[in-house]
Amino acid sequence: MNEHINLKTGFSTDKPLSLAILAMGGQGGGVLADWIVALAEANNWVAQTSSVPGVAQRTGATIYYVEMLAERAGARPILSLMPTPGDVDVVVAAELMEAGRSVLRGLVTPDRTTLIASTHRSFAVGEKEKPGDGIADPTVVTVATDFAAKRTIAFDMETLAVKSGSVVSAALFGAIAAAGVLPFSKEAFEATIRAGGKGIEPSLRAFNAAYERALDKPRDTLVAAPIKRYDALPDTTGHVALDRLVQRIRAEFPIEAQPILYAGVKKLTDFQDPAYAGEYLDRVAVLHALDRKHGGADKDFAFTVQAGKYIAVAMGYDDVIRVADLKVRGSRFARVRHEVGARDDQLVYTTEYMHPRMEEVCGTLPKRLGLWIESHPVVFKRLDRVVNKGRRVKTGTILWFLSLYIVSALRGTRRGTLRHDREVAHLQSWLSSAEMTLPKNYDLAVEVLGCRRLVKGYSDTHARGVSKFDRVLSALPLLTARDDGAAWLKRLRQAALLDEDGIALDGALRTVATL
């Protein structure tokens, strides 16, 4: 550090150490900035912090900016309130994409900046609102930081902090200590946490875990998409009915399809019961016989594998009964408590926003009653005026918990509901299309099965998905005889997932019509 004093003004012109912290609400960015200031002041440095709030949670991080300078007698420091691109020593990002945004803002430079970032993701609104996979590629950020930063420390500090019972700010503080970017000892960092007076032990656990990890393995290797792993078939599940299903998978289906079929059996047993999971295997068995007949062995039984995946998705549809069941599970209450870091002596209440329509109510009723109400517009509209309202449901209260619990208990009547009847009809029509396509174009038939991905959710989301599904498969007659038919159907499906209104799909369908 250059030591200079302007003799006329008495201000020190020494270059301060500068740190920019990018964090979203709930990640403790303000606490981290305060810790750094307290650390500096406890070691006879002058420090200052300022902050510029982002737009909102998940759409923009708050930037906390810290500058610090060693005290010198007879000199007053000159400290800035905002980071200047190209002039920041340390950038700390509490989430991976915020690290990428710091590079775009010019805060990270290869000749100067140490970048410390947690590689976990808190998905932005733009990522979550897309019908398909809108998640940004994390490897783009890591490649950029390799060039942009002088040094990078990046690993999943959020998971590490949660395991320690703390928040990510404590882990980031540990990574800063391990990086050696501040001229203070590890003991001084720990003393700062102790002086805070709140959550000391969990914070110290997270701090030390991150400190050791940063020294041992400072970088995580990221991939563009998470690797899917399926459980292997067990020798026993501990339940007689499930053991029969597992043995059936092992005996009747190729090894390529067994992991996905086991996952499907678990999903549908949880959704309904073992008998329902048995119906699932019955349907897949019919398609597997056709697959074997039409050369599936040479294709690693891709048709059977695809059927195993998407028939399970179709049979495990989201209805009101399923939603209510998920809302009142003890495991969900435990997960929420864990995510918010609640102590054993703290109460946690969850408020759900629900907006049921009469369509969902009719779908939950017995088939004949649901159809009768739908066929009488006056009755339907009057009931809809009562039902079709947004409600804030507090599942921690006795009244609302019991209400949802009673709805979830209707699982035993699900097979007789109007919604189930329609789901079965839609499933049979979809599978018939795949079966008819298989002898003519194997790869296209596989893509037909994959189109079930378009149908998801319930209420308006489900209606839009079914509409897109029907529009995509409307191109099937034009593609069956083409060698590249599978590739075109895949493009149509991808176009349908690009936007909610189906604008991209409209353009893709017009292109297919010209083939």
Q: What CATH number is given to the structural domain containing 94?
A: 3.40.920.10
Q: Say if 212 falls within a structural domain.
A: yes
- In this structure, are residues 515 and 488 in contact, taking their beta carbons and an 8 Å threshold? yes
CA distances from 450 to 3, 422, 493 (A): 67, 20, 9
pLDDT of residue 412: 92
Q: Say if 2 falls within a structural domain.
A: no
Q: Say if 137 falls within a structural domain.
A: yes
Instruction: Give the separation between CA 323 and CA 404, rounded to whole angstroms.
Output: 9
Mean pLDDT computed over 9-16: 60
Residue 81 has pLDDT above 80, yes or no: yes
pTM given for the model: 0.77
Q: Say if 143 falls within a structural domain.
A: yes
Of the spans 75-89, 139-153, 247-261, which averages the highest pLDDT? Answer: 247-261
Instruction: Give the separation between CA 375 and CA 190, rounded to whole angstroms.
Output: 70
Return the exposure string of 68-90: e unless at least 16 CB atoms fall within 10 Å of the residue's CB, then b.
bbbeeeebebebeeebeeeebbb
Q: Say if 66 falls within a structural domain.
A: yes
- The number of residues making up the chain comes to 515
Number of domains in the chain: 1
Tokens representing 339 are 């995510």
Look at 11 and 396; give whichever has higher pLDDT.
396
Lowest mean pLDDT across 54-68, 85-99, 141-155, 403-417? 54-68
Please, which residues have CB within 8 angstroms of residue 251's CB and are 6 or more apart in sequence? Answer: none
Instruction: Provide the 8-state DSSP code for 132.
Output: S
- 4 pLDDT band (50/70/90 cuts)? low
Structural domain that includes position 43: 17-216
- In this structure, are residues 218 and 153 in contact, taking their beta carbons and an 8 Å threshold? yes
Beta pairing, strands 351-354 & 90-93? unpaired
pLDDT of residue 8: 44
pLDDT of residue 54: 66
pLDDT of residue 212: 94
Q: Say if 211 falls within a structural domain.
A: yes
Residue 463 has pLDDT above 80, yes or no: yes
Average pLDDT, the chain: 88
Give residue-wise pLDDT tens across range 154-177: 999 999 998 888 889 999 999 999
Instruction: Give the separation between CA 73 and CA 169, rounded to whole angstroms.
Output: 33
pLDDT of residue 167: 87
Give residue-wise pLDDT tens across range 106-154: 899 999 999 999 998 877 777 776 777 767 777 788 888 888 899 999 9
Helix axis angle, 302-315 relative to 418-437, nearest 10°?
170
Give residue-wise pLDDT tens across range 326-356: 999 999 988 888 777 777 888 888 898 888 8
The angle at the Cα of 456, spanning 328 to 417, to the nearest 5 degrees, equals 65
Instruction: Give the separation between CA 77 and CA 1, rounded to whole angstroms.
Output: 13
Instruction: Give the separation between CA 168 and CA 170, rounded to whole angstroms.
Output: 5
Give residue-wise pLDDT tens across range 31-48: 999 999 999 999 989 999
Q: Say if 348 falls within a structural domain.
A: no
Instruction: Give the separation between CA 186 and CA 173, rounded to whole angstroms.
Output: 10
- In this structure, are residues 452 and 313 in contact, taking their beta carbons and an 8 Å threshold? yes
Instruction: Give the separation between CA 14 and CA 36, rounded to whole angstroms.
Output: 19
- 57 pLDDT band (50/70/90 cuts)? very low
Query: Half-sphere exposure of residue 511, counting CA atoms within 13 Å on the CB side?
Result: 12
Sign of CA dihedral 127, 130, 131, 132: negative
- In this structure, are residues 145 and 78 in contact, taking their beta carbons and an 8 Å threshold? no
Mean pLDDT computed over 407-430: 95
Tokens representing 513 are 């019509």
pLDDT of residue 13: 55
Give residue-wise pLDDT tens across range 471-510: 999 999 999 999 999 999 999 999 988 888 888 888 999 9
Q: Say if 186 falls within a structural domain.
A: yes
Instruction: Give the separation between CA 326 and CA 121, rounded to whole angstroms.
Output: 24
Mean pLDDT computed over 369-390: 93
